[in-house]
Structure 1
């Protein structure tokens, strides 16, 4: 498999899903975007489900690398959360990756094939786990204060991030993302 071609196909699929959702793009759209024949896409990804699953796995791997880099390079848990949110804010503001397709596809979840549903859920599991671990670390250091369990706070924070991303898109207001998420970050600094 030519990895460069497969990568370009996944990137095109990612961008098309971010723009149109799962049902809003076809192999014809990708062929036009990448400049190849549809048969070439089928060679790399026999079905649309295969392509979307591969694209979601790559997106999740990118998320794992990004949060791993934060863990390795930033000692303060609150600072890690702020940097992660700041990065998302820049992406929302500039309308580029990682506008998480898993978050966008979650709105379509009941209509998606089971294999894709599993990948979407895995994205949320990975992110919630990282946020929960980060919150627990901050709590143990006394730099983060939680009103509920780390699990509930992590779930709430991830829901807020993705909801803010979708709202910013719906209202065509990237600044909305920063306003909403900034308030959530401030809550972690305040004692009950």
Structure 2
């Protein structure tokens, strides 16, 4: 099911997404969202009954956007290594916005404390990415562009974990290399 929102609901989601990317699930409230959107707190509740409803919708929307971006990469780039490099750029683009973290990466760090519907939406994001990356790595191995003997699934987990971790380390170190440089280094070490 595609998450579509217009007007105020979309602004609420945009603000909440940015807050989560900076502060995490526990680091924002409906009051914070209402203030930044310029509405009253009951108006937020009008669109999203609970925080869990809002964040589950956000994780679903984020996953859908990522799925569209992955489809666009597949269409635009036949070369397997070019697809993997384009994937790295997705994370670099997010991080370039005030050191924002991947929404689902940030939520994934809090997975055990999240409501079940939110945790399930986050798990869907990671599964989508791992399946796509494993296919991309299989293609890169078959073409000879990636020479690692590791299974494609292991390489998928390695790249996704590296990118998510590079975002966290970059923010925590207040200037680490970030996902663009770290992803380039990892792919360079795997390429033929």
Length-normalised TM-score, structure 1: 0.91
Q: 1:92–1:174: 8 Å Cα contact kept in structure 2?
A: no
Q: CA deviation at 1:174?
A: 5.1
Out of 15-24 and 88-97, give the one that drifted further: 88-97
Distance 2:33 2:20 in 1: 11
CA offset digits 1:131-183 (Å, max 9, x no partner) = 11111112222222232111111111111110111111111115343332222
Q: Which residue number in structure 1 is paired with residue 28 of structure 2?
A: 25
Q: Which residue number in structure 1 is paired with residue 168 of structure 2?
A: 166
Aligned ranges 1:132-143 → 2 under 5 Å? 132-143=134-145
Q: Which residue number in structure 2 is paired with residue 126 of structure 1?
A: 128
Q: Which residue number in structure 2 is paired with residue 66 of structure 1?
A: 69
RMSD: 1.8
* SS of corresponding position for 1:168: helix
Q: 1:9–1:41: 8 Å Cα contact kept in structure 2?
A: yes
Distance 1:74 1:31 in 2: 41
Aligned ranges 1:138-153 → 2 under 5 Å? 138-153=140-155
Distance 1:2 1:129 in 2: 28
Length-normalised TM-score, structure 2: 0.91
Change (3 A) 1:77 1:2: closer
Q: 1:104 aligns with which of 96, 103, 106?
A: 106
Q: 2:182 aligns with which of 163, 180, 183?
A: 180
Q: Which residue number in structure 1 is paired with residue 91 of structure 2?
A: 88
Q: Which residue number in structure 2 is paired with residue 55 of structure 1?
A: 58
5+ unaligned residues in a row in structure 2: which ranges? none
Count of aligned positions: 189
* SS of corresponding position for 2:8: helix
* SS of corresponding position for 1:151: helix
Out of 69-78 and 85-94, give the one that drifted further: 85-94
Change (3 A) 1:27 1:111: same
Q: CA deviation at 1:44?
A: 1.0
Q: CA deviation at 1:86?
A: 2.7
CA offset digits 1:92-151 (Å, max 9, x no partner) = 234266x31110111111111111111111111111111111111122222222321111
